[in-house]
Amino acid sequence: MAAKTLKIFSKTINVILMVLLVITAILVFTNLTSEGSPKIFGQELKVVYSGSMEPEIKTGSVIGVIPAIDKNSYQVNDVIMFQQSPGVYVTHRIIDVFQNESGVLYQTKGDNNAQADVNPVLASNVYGLHSGFHVPYLGYAMDFANSQFGLVTLLLIPGILLLIHSGKTLYVGIRELKAEKAQVAASSESNQS
């Protein structure tokens, strides 16, 4: 019974390690081949670095952003990503829409912030609409995977674990085979006597 449980446990570990290796390889391949942010189902995956939208969107979450097509069409309660300053993107909720000589402007506010953002967002600065898709804390892993050390680590560790596990499985199998052969040899010697 214990040997059967050990075999099932061993096979389960083997499957989990293979799945992790395949997922890691896909993530690394996607990061290396995509220009800019990785995409899934037409949504760009972006990392949220602040807690301004908590509890809905936690710090370190990966969110799906649908790139803006018509930047003038967003409405109150839409969550948008916009460029606050060169290279700085913010994801906040629209609380008011108005227009002036500059065009459409969005007043935004982080759900966790007490006050609305000081400056309204020009429609031309909107990057895209948050699709509602978000995975908490996955952003930390994505940032790690994008670093050189992370890339090497994510490829090597699952591979090494898989090799170690396969080696152990092979060793156990060889031991069992030798034990069976010894038992057959002992059985045939006793039958000959």
Is 52 part of the annotated catalytic residue set? no
C-alpha pair distances (Å), 3 with each of 10, 13, 176, 192: 10, 15, 11, 31
Q: Catalytic: which of 10, 34, 37, 50?
A: 50
Distances (CA, A) of 168 to 51, 90, 157, 165, 175: 45, 49, 16, 5, 11
H helices of the chain, in order, are 2-33, 138-146, 148-192
CA distance 34 to 37: 7
The catalytic site residues sit at 50
